[in-house]
């Protein structure tokens, strides 16, 4: 006989995963409740939600989603069955800020690590997630790119004006004498 509460929980997991395009699974061991609440508070600032889940129910939810996205098939094949305590992180919009927050918390000594993720329909393992979390944010990358484009132009303009400026400087010195 199927437990109605567990069925509702699986349905909730399915709906939560469907609403978010990005999903990260993290493992936490000896994290205190106040520390988890602090992490939740930090994540909520970047419109990111964290939910502690039961591994077997999450597996059933992913099994229901296998037909909707090929990345869930790969997720199940590579990372299931899940072990240890698991939390699901879902992102409303930008996943970079939430990923950086989790990485900073884990680095600070929070006994937390990445398990796996589905971001932009691509499956990532824990090592790839650490690399993604260390990357600069989208706005920082755009600023670096614009600065890289501007720098050669600025040097070109300066080099084109250099001879003219030197000629004007020489004429000004001759005019003073």
Average pLDDT over residues 74-103: 80
Is 100's pLDDT higher than 70?
A: yes
Q: What's the mean pLDDT when you consider all of the chain?
A: 80
**How many C-beta atoms surround the C-beta of residue 53 within 10 A?**
20
Distance separating alpha carbons of residues 1 and 96, to the nearest angstrom: 42
Name every residue whose Cβ is closer than 8 Å to that of residue 23 and which is 6 or more positions away in sequence: 17, 88, 89, 90, 117, 118, 119
Selection from 55, 49, 41 nearest residue 23 by Cα = 49
Task: Output the CA–CA distances (angstroms, integers) from residue 88 to 19, 51, 92, 100, 104, in the order listed.
Answer: 13, 5, 13, 15, 17
User: Which tens digit of pLDDT belongs to each residue from 36-69?
Assistant: 888 888 888 878 888 888 878 878 887 777 777 7
* Residue 143 token pair: 């600023």
Amino acid 62: pLDDT: 78
Q: Higher model confidence: residue 62 or residue 172?
A: 172
Q: 169 or 72: whose pLDDT is higher? A: 169
* pLDDT for the residue numbered 1: 46
Query: Mean pLDDT throughout 149-162?
Result: 73
Higher pLDDT, 153 or 31: 31
Q: Does the domain made of 4-135 have the CATH classification 3.30.70.1730?
A: yes
- Identify the residue with better confidence: 152 or 132: 132
Through-space distance between the first and last CA atoms of the chain, rounded to whole angstroms: 106
Among 71, 53, 72, CA closest to 62: 72
- How far CA 47 is from CA of 1, 41, 144, in Å, comes to 38, 10, 25
Nearest to 117 by CA among 134, 136, 93, 95: 95
Question: For 46, which DSSP code?
Answer: T
pLDDT, one tens digit per residue, over 18-31 is: 788 788 888 887 87
Query: Per-residue confidence at 110, pLDDT binned at 50, 70, 90?
Result: low
């Amino acid at each position: 006989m199927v437990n109605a509460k567990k069925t509702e929980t699986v349905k909730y997991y399915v709906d939560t995963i469907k609403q978010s395009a990005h999903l990260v699974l993290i493992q936490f061991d000896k994290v205190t409740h106040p520390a988890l609440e602090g992490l939740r508070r930090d994540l909520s600032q970047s419109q990111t939600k964290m939910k502690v889940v039961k591994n077997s129910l999450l597996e059933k939810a992913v099994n229901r989603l296998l037909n909707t996205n090929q990345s869930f098939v790969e997720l199940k094949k590579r990372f299931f069955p899940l072990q240890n305590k698991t939390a699901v992180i879902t992102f409303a919009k930008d996943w970079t800020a939430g990923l950086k927050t989790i990485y900073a918390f884990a680095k600070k000594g929070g006994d937390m690590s990445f398990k796996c993720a589905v971001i932009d329909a691509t499956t990532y393992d824990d090592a790839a997630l650490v690399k993604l979390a260390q990357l600069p944010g989208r706005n920082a990358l755009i600023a670096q790119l614009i600065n890289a484009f501007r720098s050669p132009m600025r040097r070109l303009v300066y080099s084109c004006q250099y001879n003219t400026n030197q000629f004007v400087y020489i004429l000004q010195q001759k005019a003073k004498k």
